[in-house]
Amino acid sequence: MAKDILVVGSKMKDHIKGKGCMTSGELISALSCKIECILDKAIERAKANGRKTVNPHDL
Protein backbone atom coordinates (compact mmCIF):
# COMPACT_ATOMS: atom_id res chain seq x y z
CA MET A 1 0.00 0.00 0.00
CA ALA A 2 1.38 3.40 -0.98
CA LYS A 3 1.95 5.99 1.72
CA ASP A 4 0.49 9.46 1.52
CA ILE A 5 2.75 12.20 0.22
CA LEU A 6 3.24 14.82 2.94
CA VAL A 7 4.88 17.52 0.81
CA VAL A 8 3.62 19.74 -1.98
CA GLY A 9 5.74 18.54 -4.88
CA SER A 10 5.36 21.66 -7.02
CA LYS A 11 6.44 23.93 -4.14
CA MET A 12 9.45 21.72 -3.42
CA LYS A 13 10.43 21.66 -7.09
CA ASP A 14 10.02 25.45 -7.39
CA HIS A 15 12.28 25.98 -4.38
CA ILE A 16 14.99 23.69 -5.75
CA LYS A 17 14.71 25.17 -9.25
CA GLY A 18 15.02 28.66 -7.76
CA LYS A 19 18.39 27.60 -6.33
CA GLY A 20 19.59 26.51 -9.78
CA CYS A 21 19.13 22.74 -9.39
CA MET A 22 16.83 20.04 -10.69
CA THR A 23 14.87 17.31 -8.90
CA SER A 24 14.81 13.58 -9.52
CA GLY A 25 11.54 11.71 -9.79
CA GLU A 26 12.09 9.92 -6.48
CA LEU A 27 12.85 13.03 -4.41
CA ILE A 28 9.26 13.85 -3.47
CA SER A 29 8.57 10.43 -1.96
CA ALA A 30 11.99 10.31 -0.25
CA LEU A 31 11.44 13.72 1.33
CA SER A 32 7.95 12.72 2.40
CA CYS A 33 9.34 9.61 4.14
CA LYS A 34 11.94 11.75 5.92
CA ILE A 35 9.26 14.19 7.08
CA GLU A 36 7.10 11.32 8.33
CA CYS A 37 10.04 10.06 10.41
CA ILE A 38 10.67 13.53 11.86
CA LEU A 39 6.99 13.91 12.73
CA ASP A 40 6.81 10.46 14.33
CA LYS A 41 9.75 11.35 16.59
CA ALA A 42 8.10 14.67 17.48
CA ILE A 43 4.88 12.83 18.36
CA GLU A 44 6.81 10.42 20.59
CA ARG A 45 8.48 13.36 22.36
CA ALA A 46 5.16 15.13 22.94
CA LYS A 47 3.58 11.96 24.33
CA ALA A 48 6.62 11.31 26.55
CA ASN A 49 6.07 14.77 28.02
CA GLY A 50 2.38 14.04 28.68
CA ARG A 51 1.07 16.17 25.82
CA LYS A 52 -1.16 15.47 22.85
CA THR A 53 -0.11 18.70 21.16
CA VAL A 54 3.02 18.54 19.03
CA ASN A 55 4.93 21.81 19.31
CA PRO A 56 7.79 23.22 17.23
CA HIS A 57 10.31 22.40 19.94
CA ASP A 58 9.38 18.70 19.58
CA LEU A 59 11.07 18.70 16.20
Residue 4 makes CB contacts below 8 A (sequence gap 6+) with 32
Contact 19, 4 (CB under 8 A): no
pLDDT of residue 3: 81
pLDDT of residue 2: 53
- Give me the residue spans of the domains in the chain: 9-58
CA 34 distance to own-chain centroid: 6
Phi-psi bin for 16: left (phi > 0), alpha (psi -120 to 50), beta? alpha
List, run by run, the mean pLDDT of 10-residue segments along the chain (59 residues). 82 97 95 94 98 98
pLDDT of residue 51: 98
Q: Is 39 helix (H, G, I), strand (E, B) or coil?
A: helix
pTM across the whole model? 0.84
